[in-house]
């Protein structure tokens, strides 16, 4: 059984860590945990931790002088004054139990993140079920080109710095606000962006009502002089807006009654452009090096948030035009038997639809998608949605086995059963079968999308990409 958030709050954590000089991170190889470890070192403290798998992230930590262990051992806690854990660990984790025996402070990742962000003047939190990492990177780019020197905590590695963490000044923190297990309720945003609300994480949330309630609580953390930036094209986001009484900024593509709106959208290959209106008056033209209506909405959110923080029009234009994407979000990886290959993180029916809708506009002859479902619970609860998403587009789907993550298969779902429900879909239990199929079928002028939030991206190394 996994753990929950400690929910101590910044004041109690400040007291708990008053005399602490070193912090141990249990799950230090995670995108967000690794960034928190580096922020801790930047504040003059010692950091170290455990992760079960050696990776590019952990190797970078080690090069930065941060101690990383790859085997669990309670003795690793010796010399550390506090422990920060990811909620993905189990309650019987031996290092977690050892920290309790030592009676040192034990704090959840989200709770610690909320504490550490409290020292920044502006705290721009990007929330929503889809598009958080992309929008976080867009906001970071706009702030950087606007001369604001942001510190950034992203859920994906940013291109250019090849890290999820950018160390900047103490005035502006741009961070990804994850909703899973209500983690974002431990944060202290001065600007809260909500990109969308959707059914997901149903191993925690009881339904859409529970999810809307959590987002309502999140935006209301911005009441005291803060600003909330909402996507009014999303009906559920509109619903939570009625529960907010503070400074509200809205954006959209389909909605006419918004502050920031995109019109005259044009798509050209892997790029797109649009005119940005503010209060229905022309504000500027934006050119993006990515394509798809979901990217246009992400750019609108970034522009609205940046403008509310005083970033100049020139900074918004340059920041968005310089944005080239983030890793694993329709990231171009090269050619394979003449086909363009992309690596994509989509793992929810709505994300899959957004990706396929964008690819349709790129003009490929055939689109091949190697998809690895992520978790049994998500596959089971959104089963019909996955079938619909893959059936509604002219895409040739090859399923890999479900990535279990933290779960066992209590639902009886499988990739093989999914493939049987979708016309023309294939299923292969191993990478060898998938690669063999691609070698026999892809051609020049095609696109291949390797898709999923698990470890399916490792197949790209086998394809020498």
Based on the fold, state whether residues 155 and 286 are members of the same structural domain. Answer: yes
What CATH number is associated with residue 35? 3.40.50.720
pLDDT at 31: 87
Residue 94 is encoded by which pair of tokens? 């031996």
CA 421, CA 98: separation in Å to the nearest integer? 48
Residues 300-343 pLDDT 10s: 999 999 999 999 999 999 999 999 888 889 999 999 999 999 99
pLDDT at 1: 54
Based on the fold, state whether residues 296 and 149 are members of the same structural domain. Answer: yes
Based on the fold, state whether residues 33 and 98 are members of the same structural domain. Answer: yes
* 411, pLDDT greater than 80: yes
Based on the fold, state whether residues 51 and 129 are members of the same structural domain. Answer: no
- 81 within a domain of the structure (yes/no): yes
Domain residue limits at 48: 10-114
Question: Which among 322, 347, 373 is the end of a domain?
Answer: 322
Question: Which among 84, 114, 144 is the end of a domain?
Answer: 114
Mean pLDDT, range 95-108, rounded to an integer: 96
Based on the fold, state whether residues 217 and 357 are members of the same structural domain. Answer: no
Percent of all residues in the chain with a pLDDT value above 70, rounded to a whole number: 100
CA 200, CA 202: separation in Å to the nearest integer? 5
Q: Of 405 and 208, which is predicted with more confidence?
A: 208
* 210, pLDDT greater than 70: yes
Based on the fold, state whether residues 175 and 236 are members of the same structural domain. Answer: yes
Mean pLDDT, range 56-85, rounded to an integer: 95
pLDDT at 256: 86
Q: Where are the beta strands (DSSP E) in 60-190?
A: 67-69, 82-85, 106-108, 122-127, 151-158, 163-166, 172-176
- 1 within a domain of the structure (yes/no): no
What CATH number is associated with residue 184? 3.40.1190.10
Based on the fold, state whether residues 309 and 367 are members of the same structural domain. Answer: no
Give the dihedral sign, CA 414/420/422/427.
positive
Percent of all residues in the chain with a pLDDT value above 90, rounded to a whole number: 85
Based on the fold, state whether residues 233 and 260 are members of the same structural domain. Answer: yes
Based on the fold, state whether residues 283 and 370 are members of the same structural domain. Answer: no
- 252 within a domain of the structure (yes/no): yes
* 2, pLDDT greater than 80: no
Angle of helix 313-322 relative to helix 293-308, nearest 10 degrees? 150
- The pTM score is 0.89
pLDDT at 304: 98
Radius of gyration of the chain, Cα coordinates, nearest whole angstrom: 22
Mean pLDDT, range 191-219, rounded to an integer: 93
Question: Which among 114, 136, 155 is the end of a domain?
Answer: 114
Q: How many domains does the chain have?
A: 3
CA 204, CA 237: separation in Å to the nearest integer? 20
* 66, pLDDT greater than 60: yes
């Amino acid at each position: 059984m996994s753990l929950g958030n400690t929910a101590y709050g910044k004041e109690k954590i400040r007291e708990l860590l008053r005399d602490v000089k070193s912090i141990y991170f249990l799950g230090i190889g995670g995108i967000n945990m690794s960034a928190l470890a580096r922020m801790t070192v930047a504040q003059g403290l010692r950091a170290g931790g455990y992760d079960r798998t050696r990776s590019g992230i952990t190797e970078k930590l080690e090069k930065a002088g941060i101690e990383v262990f790859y085997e669990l051992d309670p003795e690793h806690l010796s010399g550390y004054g506090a422990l920060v854990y990811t909620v993905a660990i189990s309650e019987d984790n031996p290092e977690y139990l050892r920290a309790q025996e030592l009676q040192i402070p034990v704090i959840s990742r989200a709770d610690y993140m909320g504490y550490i962000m409290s020292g920044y003047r502006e705290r721009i939190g990007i929330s929503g079920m889809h598009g958080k990492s992309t929008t976080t990177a867009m906001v970071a780019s706009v702030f950087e080109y606007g001369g604001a020197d942001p510190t950034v905590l992203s859920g994906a590695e940013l291109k250019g710095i090849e890290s999820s963490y950018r160390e900047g000044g103490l005035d502006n923190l741009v961070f990804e606000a994850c909703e899973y297990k209500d983690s974002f309720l431990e944060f202290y945003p001065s600007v809260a962006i909500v990109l969308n609300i959707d059914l997901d994480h149903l191993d925690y949330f009881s339904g859409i009502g529970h999810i809307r309630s959590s987002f309502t609580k999140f935006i209301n953390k911005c009441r005291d002089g803060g600003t909330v930036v909402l996507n009014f094209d999303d009906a559920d986001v509109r619903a939570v807006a009625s529960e907010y009484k503070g400074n509200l900024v809205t954006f959209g593509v389909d909605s006419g009654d918004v502050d920031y709106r995109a019109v005259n959208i044009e798509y050209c290959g892997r790029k797109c452009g649009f005119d940005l209106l503010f209060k229905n008056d022309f504000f500027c033209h934006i050119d993006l090096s990515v394509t798809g209506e979901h990217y246009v909405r992400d750019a609108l959110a970034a522009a609205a948030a940046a403008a509310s923080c005083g970033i100049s029009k020139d900074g918004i234009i340059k920041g968005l035009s310089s944005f080239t994407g983030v890793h694993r979000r329709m990231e171009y990886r090269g050619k394979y038997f003449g086909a363009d290959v992309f690596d994509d993180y989509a793992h929810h029916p709505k994300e899959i639809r957004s990706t396929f809708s964008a690819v349709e506009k790129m003009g490929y002859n055939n689109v091949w998608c190697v998809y690895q479902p992520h978790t049994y619970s998500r596959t089971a609860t959104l089963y019909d949605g996955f079938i619909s998403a893959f059936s509604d587009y002219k895409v040739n789907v090859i399923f890999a086995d479900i990535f279990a993550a933290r779960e066992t298969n209590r639902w009886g779902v499988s990739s093989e059963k999914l493939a049987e429900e979708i016309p023309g879909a294939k299923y292969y239990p191993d990478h060898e079968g998938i690669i063999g199929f691609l070698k026999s079928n892809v051609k020049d002028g095609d696109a291949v999308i390797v898709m999923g939030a698990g470890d399916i991206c490792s197949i790209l190394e086998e394809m020498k990409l």
